[in-house]
Chains A and B, each alone.
Chain A
Amino acid sequence: EAGVAQSPRYKIIEKRQSVAFWCNPISGHATLYWYQQILGQGPKLLIQFQNNGVVDDSQLPKDRFSAERLKGVDSTLKIQPAKLEDSAVYLCASSPPVNSPNEKLFFGSGTQLSVL
């Protein structure tokens, strides 16, 4: 079974530039999550999709961050313009439905973003 794919692995940009991250979840997983993890902290949920609809984006800085999940499969997360404090690892995860035998989160390898 293929895992969650993310790209790029690393990205270095200057502040005020824009950047986009891509995620391909495990086939059949309707739920997709984007987390931001700042060094030394736990992952913070930015946005959660159920199929192609947003079910939680309460912690997404909407003035600069946007995300979409077209056709309920792949997803992209964009930052425009980036700030220094956006330097973090961006993690994508997917999961099967609640109460299924394997209702855990499957994570990709993450994208490490450095904003200079």
Chain B
Amino acid sequence: SQQGEEDPQALSIQEGENATMNCSYKTSINNLQWYRQNSGRGLVHLILIRSNEREKHSGRLRVTLDTSKKSSSLLITASRAADTASYFCATGVANSGGYQKVTFGTGTKLQVIP
């Protein structure tokens, strides 16, 4: 089952514009992660935000987390054609064994038009 639901499913913007993707989830989490996938193959980790954090930045990426609403958003500023990819949120739930179960959302397909 999918833990996260992402919105929108698809997004098309012009180069230079900002792109915002939203993720909602159902259960309590330890962290929320965002991944990028090109061409339906291996995923690449972008950023992780822990449950006690509200906002995090990495380069052109800004992630927010609202645990009371069980939602997160990923903002990509000044988008480039190379940002065209699918983006997935994933929830991390840790247990006493020192590992985490990571469950992925449905994804947002971003197209950046040059």
Does A43 count as interface, using CB distance less than 8 angstroms? yes
Q: Interface segment, B11-19, B36-44, B57-65? A: B36-44
Does B25 count as interface, using CB distance less than 8 angstroms? no
Interface size bracket, B side: 20 to 34
- By beta carbon, the residue of chain A nearest B97 is A50
CB distance from B39 to the nearest CB of A (A): 10
Q: Quick one: which of A97, A107, A109, A112 contacts B99, CB cutoff 8 A?
A: A97
Contacts beyond the supplied A93-B102, A98-B99: 8 A-B pairs with Cβ under 8 Å: A37-B40, A50-B97, A50-B99, A97-B99, A103-B100, A104-B48, A105-B102, A112-B40
- By beta carbon, the residue of chain B nearest A53 is B97
Q: Interface residues, chain A, CB within 8 Å of chain B?
A: 30-31, 33, 35, 37, 39, 41-45, 48, 50, 55-56, 59, 89, 91, 93, 95, 97-99, 103-110, 112
Complexed CA–CA distance, A39 and B1 (Å)? 16
Does B81 count as interface, using CB distance less than 8 angstroms? no
Q: Interface residues, chain B, CB within 8 Å of chain A?
A: 1-2, 4, 30-31, 33, 35, 40-45, 48, 88, 90, 92, 94, 97-107
Measured between beta carbons, the chain A residues less than 8 angstroms from B98 are: 97-98
CB distance from B104 to the nearest CB of A (A): 4
B42-A42 in contact (CB<8A)? no
Q: A42-B2, A42-B106, A59-B1 are in contact. Are A98 and B42 (CB under 8 A)?
A: no
Q: Quick one: which of A41, A105, A110 contacts B45, CB cutoff 8 A?
A: A105
Q: A42-B2, A103-B31, A110-B42 are in contact. Are A56 and B101 (CB under 8 A)?
A: yes
Measured between beta carbons, the chain A residues less than 8 angstroms from B101 are: 45, 48, 55-56
Measured between beta carbons, the chain B residues less than 8 angstroms from A108 are: 42
